[in-house]
Structures are given as C-alpha cells and as structure tokens.
Amino acid sequence: MVAALPGIINVGAMVHAVVQDALADVLHGRRKQSCLHLVDAPNGYRTGVGPLRPGQQRELDRMAFLCVRHPERLLCDERESPGVSLGCANLHMAQEHKDEIVARCFTCAQPIPEDEVTPVFAVITLHQPLSVYHGPDRSFRYMGELETLPITYLCQRHRDQMDLPIRIMWPRR
C-alpha cells in the first residue's frame, strides 16, 4: 500500500488540474456545453412552465456531472428509460468507457466484484455560476455543485486510502 501513496496523491492533483482546465473558459465569459436535459429542465421545456427570463432563477432537480476524461461537455443524471435510453451519464459510461466494464482497484489492480466497488470521484463546489448551453438558443446559469463521473475505483481492502469524495472549490480562491 505504501507504494500506491504517490499515485493516490497524484489522483487528487490530477482531478484538480482537469477541473480547473475544463472550466477555465467560463471565467473568460464563454459558456460550457451540456447535455440537452440539463438545459431543458430549468428552462421548463419538459414541464411546460416556460423558459427563464433574464434575472429569473429556478431550482434544478438535476445533478450535473463532469467526466475528467471527456471534459468538453457536462452530463446529467437523467435516469434510464427501459427500452428507450440508458440515461445521460450511464450512456456516456457505456459508450466512452468500455474499458471499465470490469472495475479494477487503483491500488492492487485486481478486478472488483460489482457489489464491492468504491468509486473515486470529486464534488466540485461552484463559487460562481457556470453558463451552460445546448444549442444557440438554450442556455442557463448552473450554480451549486458538480460531481465527476468515477475517476478510478478502489476495492474493499483499499477503500479507506482516500478521503472520498475529493473536494474541489471552483474557481480557486
């Protein structure tokens, strides 16, 4: 386990760097692309309450996710619809992370049974809103927290090696 400590420290530093880089353009007035669900929900396209007007706020019952391996757009927690869709984050994992079908422990590299997997992820607390969009006419400002999709995994034996979730403040103060 001692040999894994530098790698564990690097996981946290890597996640911080990827998050800062993935969201840097927002600090310069650019918008972050997101899935359609994340933009439609606050703008009322599915509920019929109508789009947000300038200055109007609306609570969002969706969580936004950032994939550290594919940070170009945010995903959401749209759930699976049997026979229709896997859901937003699940579909991304199935299409883009095929190599993770069998989770392996970051420390010992052993396959982990599905019911014993401890995902390593980060929670990003936003200190300023993220302007997100999907298409030219659908946007809003997301505030609160983002989560990363799993970065790596730990087995039961090594799950206490890290304080989880990794906590990140954005932008750094």
Q: pLDDT, tens digit, for every residue of 62-104? A: 788 999 999 988 888 877 655 655 678 888 888 888 766 788 9
- Tokens read off for 91: 């579909």
Asked which of 48-62, 67-81, 99-113 is least confident by mean pLDDT, the reply is 48-62
> Percentage of residues in the chain with pLDDT exceeding 90?
27
DSSP helix/strand/coil, 148: strand
Give me the pLDDT at residue 91, please.
Answer: 85
| CB of 61 closer than 8 Å to CB of 49 | no
Angstrom CA distances, 37 to 40, 62, 90, 114, 157, stand at 5, 9, 14, 28, 37
**pTM metric for this prediction:** 0.80
Segment among 20-24, 38-42, 72-76, 84-88 with least mean pLDDT: 38-42
Three-state secondary structure string covering 93-137 = HHHHCHHHCCCEECCCCCECCHHHCEEECEEEEECCCEEEECCCC
- What type of residue is 93? M
Reference 76, options 65, 61, 91; nearest CA is 65
